[in-house]
Amino acid sequence: MSKRSTAIAAVFLDRDGVINEEVEYLSDSSKLRLVPGSARAIRLLNERAIPVIVVTNQSGVARGYYPESRIAHLHHALDESLKDEGAHIDRFYYCPHHPEGLGKYRIDCECRKPKPGLLHEAAKDFSLNLKNCIIIGDKASDIGAGIAAGCRTILVMTGYGKKELASWNQPFQPGHVAEDLQGSVEWLLRD
């Protein structure tokens, strides 16, 4: 049996540069643009009842660029755009911290990727076996978090992906490299 045909317990998605176009410290929903094909890819997972879980670093909060409340607004806008295409995210997890951030957000937390805290939190909430989960991201930190959690990993070439791959300097490699989210999901679901 191929690795790909193993049941998929959940798919973790990085947000910026994977689902929506990368915009530095995105917080303004008027700047939210879906990556072409991403809604369709999420819908394919929804149709198979595979949980789609967003795990996103939002250090813009710790850096004082936008208030934490803005994240919920942005995620609501993202939900609305996806709904237009019959797709939905099952849950959003985010890290608002940064070790050099402001106030209560200034912590060296366990949830900022490449640490696997967000994945462990989701695994607890959804009773997931992380070995049967996949993370799809555009940065080495996404791949690192996935590997630390024992997930399979896919690096996409949207967002920072191309740049990250060209300057790859990590003791680990992505399990697979795909053009974009749509390519990743098609690869995952292919038998």
Q: Tell me which residues are annotated as active site.
A: 14, 16
CB 161, min distance to Mg ion, A:
8
Please give the Cα distance from 137 to 141 (Å, whole number). 8
Query: Which of 14, 90, 164, 180 lies at the binding interface for Mg ion (CB under 5 A)?
Result: 14
Q: Which stretch binds Zn ion (CB under 5 A): 27-35, 102-110, 150-158, 165-173?
A: 102-110
Q: Which stretch binds Zn ion (CB under 5 A): 18-26, 73-81, 87-95, 119-127?
A: 87-95
Q: How far is CA 44 from the centre of its chain?
A: 16
138 binds, among Mg ion, Zn ion, none (CB under 5 to 8 A by kind): Mg ion
Structure tokens at 19: 């689902």
Please give the Cα distance from 58 to 27 (Å, whole number). 9
Please give the Cα distance from 139 to 39 (Å, whole number). 20
Q: Which stretch binds Zn ion (CB under 5 A): 34-42, 103-111, 155-163, 182-190?
A: 103-111
Examine residue 139 and tell whether it contacts Zn ion (CB under 5 A): no
Please give the Cα distance from 87 to 80 (Å, whole number). 9
Please give the Cα distance from 79 to 106 (Å, whole number). 29
Q: How far is CA 173 from the centre of its chain?
A: 17
Name the nearest CA neighbour of 40 among 70, 77, 82: 82
Name the nearest CA neighbour of 175 among 188, 189, 160: 188
CB 156, min distance to Mg ion, A:
9
146 binds, among Zn ion, Mg ion, none (CB under 5 to 8 A by kind): none
x/- letters, 83..122, toward Mg ion (CB under 5 A): ----------------------------------------
- Residues lying near Zn ion in the complex (CB under 5 A): 95, 97, 109, 111-112
- Residues lying near Mg ion in the complex (CB under 5 A): 14, 16-17, 138, 159
